[in-house]
Structure 1
Amino acid sequence: MSPPREPTQGLVLGYTDLHPFSTVPLTDRTSVQSLLATVLDPLEPFFSPLRARVRCPGATAVRFDQTASEVEGFARPLWGLACHLAGGGAYRGTQWWIDGLRAGTDPEGEEYWGYPRDNDQRMVEMCPIGFALAVAPQIWEGLSERERGNVEGWLGNSINEKNMPNTNWLWFRVFANLGLKKNGGRFSQERLDADIEHLETFYRGDGWSNDGPEGIHQMDYYSSSFAIHFLQLLYAKLAGDENPERAAEFKKRAQMAALDLAHYYDEEGRSIPFGRSVGYRFAMVSFWGALAYADVELPAPLTWGMVKGMVMRHLRWWQTQHNIWSSSGTLTIGYSYPNMYMAENYNSPGSPYWACLAFICLAVPETHPFWTSKEENHWDVIPKVKALKHPGHIMSNLGGHCMLLSSGQACSYPMKGTHAKYGAFAYSSAYGYSVPPGLFTLEQYALASQLGLSDDGGDYWKTRRLSDSSLQTRGGPSDTTPVLVSLWSPFPDVHIKTYLIPPTEAHPNWHLRAHHIRAEGRAVLTADGSFAISSAQAADGRMLGAYDAASPGGEGTQPRLIGNYDVATPEAWADGRTGAFVVSKGAVGIRALEGSKGKRTATLVNADPNSNLVESRTVIPTLQGTVERGESVWYVSGIYAKPSGEGVKREGYLSGWEAVPEVPGWLREEMGL
């Protein structure tokens, strides 16, 4: 057994300390290199003695074994290190990963990673290892002949002999083989080609690939920045000379997708949290660096200044999220703060380091216009509202945030909070989605941007998960407003048709949702929630009080927010037409627009802590109603949102609340009004 290694001095963050990540002034390539070092440095004390494993703080379990979890901790930071080395950079800890690769692939060694089985998590981590071997020759050169043979046996032979999930995982095997090929190691060209041919069946058109075969509708960040588009572009760069036609096709798809994906990033650098694995945080922006790395010619009207602006603003926004780190300086599971409720069952403590994909920009030469251009705002040239056919989204950048309306997507396998991650009606760059920390009463379901239905008096609630959807244009020949329509059934005998209508220039802070509910076989309670917003006062963190326009802070709620579960008091309720709103970090609210007095009532759901991705304490303005058995009713909800931000004065947060949009004529006609 090897002697224990000398202990290393790790980062310790105290009560008022800022992580070094937040202190780097981001201006150029050199500053982003320094930013990467602040991500990698805190890992040093958590390497195993032979450096083959990294045990990040947090003893949480995942669906795979502990060794694979610690291989994750070792391999995922390689995305950042390999990109840095590929761009000619140097890092003091490079040898850690060379030593770890040597020990982890030695079948006779005490830190051997183990031969992967079918569908083994180790296969995922072979992707950053393969990429690192392909672009950073010093790694392969740092191994002896025998050690290279061990790498070939573990990286190539093992993954080529095993079954893999029929998802983006197939790209991981491509890169395992590609890394060996680039270094003259043993690999399988047959397997590499076959996997890419099969991945082609995921392509749906207009630049979009699905994360799975026919019959699955799942187009989240895996279809762009986390895996498919990202890895297509890396392949085009590394294997384009031998397969120029395929490389050209991948670049063409990226050009088409870029004009859609630009709608997911707002002027402040925030991206819209949607779908699974958003705990990979700044990896959301990696697609844009990959465009530059693969030498893609940008489609008009995008410029390299706009692409650079998206990446740099995104990284700067994450620099303001001070709670994403553990006290030891490592990334935590969560989004804007540590949060296990939103975690998938494959999120180990080392899992968040997939975020290092964002550093692909460091592999881009300093002479590339990505680095030499001045930062620009892409929202100066792209539409404020756009319908995206393949993901089933309507994108909007009106009212101070980027928002997507969504219908039709669903994860194909059991996942925690899947209805919230894919089935909600609206997703915002400012407010984030909410997941249920429990399954009893509305406080635990936290139905932000969701319609819930209960047939047991309000204990248990069902929401939209699976739906048949279509993207339509309503309003006549002169009106090109896109509308999303979805058909869904929370119970076998309750059927709902939902319309999602985006904001307009005249009413930029409002979007509409209409529900036609047919309760054929049972009576149901309904709860239609707006966005979730912080429930804490800025000055002292205490719970918001009743809204008073004349108060100095300008914060508060209408009606009153009840801090416990006794919501029977009349103060907690309002007429649905009057609605409910909250003013804290901006303002959100909801109003009933169907026109029937007393049909629905408005209240504030004091959501359980840690249900929202962005804010740990939130409240959700909500409309509640009852549909009796045999009834067929129409609900039309107006959802208000005006986030805080640069140039937005606190006294103006509610400036649009009274300017309620009218129900469109085509919808009134369908409602029979």
Structure 2
Amino acid sequence: MAVPQQGLVIPYNGRHPFALVSLTDRASVQELLKTLLDPLEPFFSPLKSRVRCPGATAVRFDQTASEVEGICRPLWGLACLLAGGGSYKGTQWWIDGIKAGTDPTGKEFWGFPRDNDQRMVEMCPLGFALGVAPEIWGGLTEREKKNVEGWLGNSINEKNMPNTNWLWFRVFANLGLKKNGGKFSQERLDADIEHLDTFYRGDGWSNDGPEGIHQMDYYSSSFAIHFLQLLYAKLAGEDEPARAAEFKKRAQMAALDLAHYYDEEGRAIPFGRSVGYRFAMVSFWGAIAYADIELPAPLTWGMVKGIVMRHLRWWQTQHDMWTSSGTLTIGYSYPNMYMAENYNSPGSPYWACLAFICLAVPETHPFWTSKEENHWDVIPKIKPLPQPGHIMSNLGTHTMLLSSGQACSYPMKGTHAKYGAFAYSSAYAYSVPPGLFTLEQYALASQLGLSDDGGEYWKPRRLSKSSLEYRDNNSPVLVSLWSPFVDVHVKTYLIPPVEETPNWHLRVHFIHAGGREVQTADGSFAICNERTPDGRYLDLYDEAKCEGTSPKVIGNYDLATPEAWASGKDGAFAVSKGAVGIKALEWKEAGRTATLVNADPNSNLVENRTTIPTLQGTVRKGEKVWYVTGIYARPGGRKEEYLSGWGRTPEIPGWLKEEIGA
């Protein structure tokens, strides 16, 4: 077992070395990676086979597997560094750890995997490392190589695996051995790739699972499928040119879609599960360079470099994502167990090291030699993405994703927030429920919740039947049908911003409360609920300070105070780091009122104290009601301009008025 020791200690209000690297070129990114690897040193086990990262939290698998994560996941970064000709003082730690961990007679043996074992995941970075860093395989004796063959190849080829992106992990276990002349299974490798091809849906996109599952998140791109397809194309391309060409073609198509997920400041749109892998969200772009892809017009290598470098720089500004020992925490911008999946151990966040695939790219490649450029200068400001069921936009100073409603194929904490929300923003991250009692705990940012018990329990969108449609002037609209209760049915329309009102998007619900009365709560984005002078909750809006809320934030549980409510037509807004708000735009009175919901702390991924402007109403049993909601967001620009668009609400499209029967 690893013996925790004193390592790097970050003082109060101090800065992690990660934040202090000036990112300009390949050498500086190499230094950035080393600031991630260095703090792990004290947490290696005596024989170096395991890394027990600080934190005593448990996961759905055993402690040994958790510590195997701790050593294998940083291998993504180390292997890329070595593959690109770099060096690291602790390379031998990993070589020694591989020796000890794969020795079935040793004290620190990792253990052979069982069916659906977490150890299979960690075989992927190990297989890749063996394939690209000759010093690792070359550092093993013949007996040690046999041990690696036995653990990495034979054991995984005999076991069942989840019918998801996991199958790629077995591909790389076999590929790593194949590249070194080790014992592997070509039959299993081919069968897995052929099955993974059944996940392909078109336009460059693969689903994270078989037919009947609609889950296209970062696993479809940077965390697994596209990323590993590109690595495979690079490493096996000479032997399998047709397969490599197909993977590269898919990446070229997907690149024009995926560019919409990153804004000018380098922020990615948090969406779906495992976003605690942080900067791995940008690894697709380094993999494109590594695989020698010809970029599709109008993208340039300067734009690709800009996406990666700006993204890493943004993460350098997130100073609270570290433990006091300098290791990554479970969370996003700060430690957060509410957002964690049941497979997130203290070592899990090091899947973030996928981002350093760019270090395996030669320094003479145009990825490194080009000047950084802004891809938003050339790509459309609004783009529908049929395969994931999204409409992307970059109007109103942030990048936004409207979602038709995906769903994880198995029970997951906060799945409705991670996949079922209506909008996801690069500036205003999604919120997860820290509890399941009242709106404060549900934290319904960009969600509509319905309650049949007086507001104690709420049901937002989770499973839905959705479509991407085109209306007047070929404008994209997302339509979803969902039923929070068996006798209550909702049809939701999501309409992206337009140039005339760039800070607004429309969310329209037709609710039929066939069998019961329901209360409704329609939330905008969540925003930081701290005033500038002292960090206390926001006051009533002050025009001189350009900060505050309307109506007044009274505080949780005090919902009967008149000052806390406004009419739905007047709406509610909050101004701190930009402005967000919500208004009822229906012309037929629906009786909605506006207020601020103080979400429970640590519900949001980026801001640990937030408030959510919210419209609330009631639909009586048997009623059919139309809600037309305008959602306002302006995160950038001068603070004096945060509310400059609040007074001009968007036009209701003619086709929608006709459908409503106005």
Is TM (by shorter chain) over 0.5? yes
Q: How far off its partner does 1:599 sit?
A: 1.3
Q: Which residue of 1 aligns with 2:285?
A: 288
Q: Which residue of 1 aligns with 2:253?
A: 256
Check whether the contact 2:596–2:614 (CA below 8 A) recurs between aligned residues.
Answer: yes
Q: Which residue of 2 aligns with 1:649?
A: 638
1:630 matches 2:626: no
Find the residue that maps to 1:322 and give its secondary structure. Answer: coil
Alignment of 1:144-543 (within 5 A): 144-475=141-472, 479-543=473-537
1:617 matches 2:609: yes
Q: Which residue of 2 aligns with 1:562?
A: 554
Q: How far off its partner does 1:597 sit?
A: 4.5
Counterpart of 2:618, as a letter, is T
Of 91, 95, 99, the residue aligned with 2:92 is: 95
Counterpart of 1:563, as a letter, is G
Distance 2:77 2:535 in 1: 37
Q: How far off its partner does 1:665 sit?
A: 1.2
- Kindly tell me: are residues 94 and 8 of structure 1, through their superposed partners in 2, closer, same or farther at Cα, counting changes over 3 Å? farther
Find the residue that maps to 1:324 and give its secondary structure. Answer: coil
Distance 1:437 1:206 in 2: 37
Counterpart of 1:521, as a letter, is G
Alignment of 1:62-81 (within 5 A): 62-81=59-78
Counterpart of 1:480, as a letter, is N
Distance 2:329 2:170 in 1: 27
Q: How far off its partner does 1:259 sit?
A: 0.2
Check whether the contact 2:222–2:281 (CA below 8 A) recurs between aligned residues.
Answer: yes
Distance 1:599 1:95 in 2: 68
Q: How far off its partner does 1:474 sit?
A: 1.2
The CA RMSD over aligned residues, in Å, is 1.1
Find the residue that maps to 2:574 and give its secondary structure. Answer: strand
Distance 2:618 2:405 in 1: 26
State the percentage of identical aligned residues. 82
Distance 1:209 1:333 in 2: 27
Structure 2: which 5+ runs fail to align?
A: none
Structure 1: which 5+ runs fail to align?
A: none
Q: Which residue of 2 aligns with 1:548?
A: 542
1:667 matches 2:661: no
Q: Which residue of 2 aligns with 1:584?
A: 576
Distance 1:348 1:396 in 2: 34
Check whether the contact 1:395–1:404 (CA below 8 A) recurs between aligned residues.
Answer: yes
Check whether the contact 1:535–1:617 (CA below 8 A) recurs between aligned residues.
Answer: yes
Find the residue that maps to 2:440 and give its secondary structure. Answer: helix
Check whether the contact 1:577–1:595 (CA below 8 A) recurs between aligned residues.
Answer: no
Cα deviations by residue, 1:300-320 (Å, 9 ceiling, x for unpaired)? 000000000000000000000
Distance 1:35 1:268 in 2: 19
Q: Which residue of 2 aligns with 1:571?
A: 563
- Kindly tell me: are residues 554 and 408 of structure 1, through their superposed partners in 2, closer, same or farther at Cα, counting changes over 3 Å? closer
Check whether the contact 1:301–1:381 (CA below 8 A) recurs between aligned residues.
Answer: yes
Q: How far off its partner does 1:133 sit?
A: 0.3
Q: How far off its partner does 1:8 sit?
A: 6.8
Find the residue that maps to 1:366 and give its secondary structure. Answer: coil
Distance 1:587 1:403 in 2: 15
Distance 1:604 1:542 in 2: 16
Find the residue that maps to 1:357 and give its secondary structure. Answer: helix
Distance 2:450 2:587 in 1: 21
Check whether the contact 1:640–1:657 (CA below 8 A) recurs between aligned residues.
Answer: yes
Q: How far off its partner does 1:540 sit?
A: 1.1
Counterpart of 2:639, as a letter, is R
Q: How far off its partner does 1:566 sit?
A: 1.1
Cα deviations by residue, 1:464-507 (Å, 9 ceiling, x for unpaired)? 001001101112xxx12100000000000001100000001111
Counterpart of 2:647, as a letter, is E
Distance 2:530 2:559 in 1: 19
Counterpart of 2:480, as a letter, is S
1:601 matches 2:593: yes
Distance 1:137 1:42 in 2: 25
Distance 1:133 1:487 in 2: 48
1:30 matches 2:24: no
TM-score of the superposition, structure 2-length normalised? Answer: 0.99
Check whether the contact 2:523–2:613 (CA below 8 A) recurs between aligned residues.
Answer: yes
Cα deviations by residue, 1:1-60 (Å, 9 ceiling, x for unpaired)? x9x99x976100111210000000000000000000000000000101111000001000
Distance 2:587 2:45 in 1: 65
Counterpart of 2:65, as a letter, is A
Q: How far off its partner does 1:222 sit?
A: 0.2
Check whether the contact 1:423–1:465 (CA below 8 A) recurs between aligned residues.
Answer: yes
Distance 1:408 1:535 in 2: 28
Find the residue that maps to 1:354 and give its secondary structure. Answer: helix
Find the residue that maps to 1:323 and give its secondary structure. Answer: coil
Find the residue that maps to 1:639 and give its secondary structure. Answer: strand
Find the residue that maps to 2:474 and give its secondary structure. Answer: coil
Q: How far off its partner does 1:541 sit?
A: 0.6
Counterpart of 2:437, as a letter, is F
Check whether the contact 2:405–2:421 (CA below 8 A) recurs between aligned residues.
Answer: no
* Range 406-415 or range 217-226, more displaced: 406-415
Distance 1:17 1:146 in 2: 47
Distance 1:671 1:341 in 2: 39
Q: How far off its partner does 1:215 sit?
A: 0.4
